[in-house]
Amino acid sequence: MINEIMSLNPIFQALIAGLFTYGITILGASLVLFMKKINKTFMDSMLSLAAGIMIAASFFSLILPAINTLEELNMVKWFPLSIGFMLGGIFLYFGNKIYELKSKNKNNTRIKRSALIILSITLHNIPEGMAVGVAFGSILYGIKGASLLSAWLIALGIGLQNFPEGSAVSIPLRREGFSRKKAFFLGQLTGIVEPISSVIGAVLVMKVRFLMPLLLSFAAGAMIYVVTMELIPESQTNKKKDLMAIFTIIGFTIMMFLDITLG
């Protein structure tokens, strides 16, 4: 079965990978159905591991292939890389501002607060899905640094951080008074955009090659924003800060080793 998946068109692989990351969101959201208390150290260690994987992936699997593509196309390197990277971060910045609006405005009704939670996480998931799709779509060109393994590792990294994200939606919704089933349904729904945006990212890269460096750097910027704004700060609230830092280093090392040796 694994060999059959690996032999599929990159667009179908992007869809499968997007469904995988969505599936992890579903698992995270399902915690509201079964658990009253979640082990914080376990969740934080997964966030730290995902942070390391995503930092390494942003360079070895996204920025580096973008540079190689620009060299092959004889294009200026710094401009599309800088613009794409900044746009990726800015996109999530505004998504975060929507979430902050929810937390600062204490007069919001329950429905407004809940809608803003769902909207902010959904917007946040779009570039993550595109990052997966872009990684798979870029394989078509055989560019150094763009490989099937690195694409799946990006999906794994994003999937790991989707687990706490799913619960970060469903559990607050439960606190807002929603039933467990409704909180779960709305929580998992925020991840459904990932397989859709994964396919869009893969198609764009495969059909319009000159956009690939911009999209790769956009995905990298979005990933770094997630790491610096959410994953590392959240994991560092754990009492075992030094252990969380080690998990980040382990995640980076794993991604770097696999990408260099097998990519």
- The residue-averaged pLDDT of 227-236 equals 83
Q: CA-CA distance, 191 to 128, in Å (whole number)? A: 10
With 80 as the cut, is the pLDDT of residue 139 above it? no
Q: CA-CA distance, 212 to 72, in Å (whole number)? A: 12
pLDDT digits (tens, 9 = 90+) for 41-70: 877 887 788 788 778 878 887 788 788 778
Per-residue pLDDT band for 243 (boundaries 50, 70, 90) equals: very high
Q: CA-CA distance, 87 to 214, in Å (whole number)? A: 9
pLDDT digits (tens, 9 = 90+) for 28-37: 889 888 866 6
Res 32: pLDDT: 82
Read off the tokens for 119. 């909207």
Name the DSSP class of 138: G
Higher pLDDT, 45 or 184: 184
Contact in structure between 136 and 154 (CB atoms under 8 Å): no
The mean of the pLDDT values for the chain is: 78
Res 206: pLDDT: 75
With 70 as the cut, is the pLDDT of residue 120 above it? no
Q: CA-CA distance, 80 to 227, in Å (whole number)? A: 22
Q: CA-CA distance, 146 to 150, in Å (whole number)? A: 7
Per-residue pLDDT band for 163 (boundaries 50, 70, 90) equals: confident
Q: CA-CA distance, 59 to 61, in Å (whole number)? A: 6
Res 74: pLDDT: 76
Per-residue pLDDT band for 228 (boundaries 50, 70, 90) equals: confident
Q: CA-CA distance, 184 to 177, in Å (whole number)? A: 12
Tell me which range, 106-115, 132-141, 234-243, 254-263, is most confidently predicted by mean pLDDT: 234-243
Res 209: pLDDT: 67
With 90 as the cut, is the pLDDT of residue 196 above it? yes
Q: Give the SS3 label for residue 166.
A: helix
Sign of CA dihedral 96, 48, 42, 24: positive
Tell me which range, 68-82, 136-150, 186-200, is most confidently predicted by mean pLDDT: 186-200
The amino acid occupying position 41 is T
Higher pLDDT, 255 or 24: 24
Contact in structure between 171 and 183 (CB atoms under 8 Å): yes
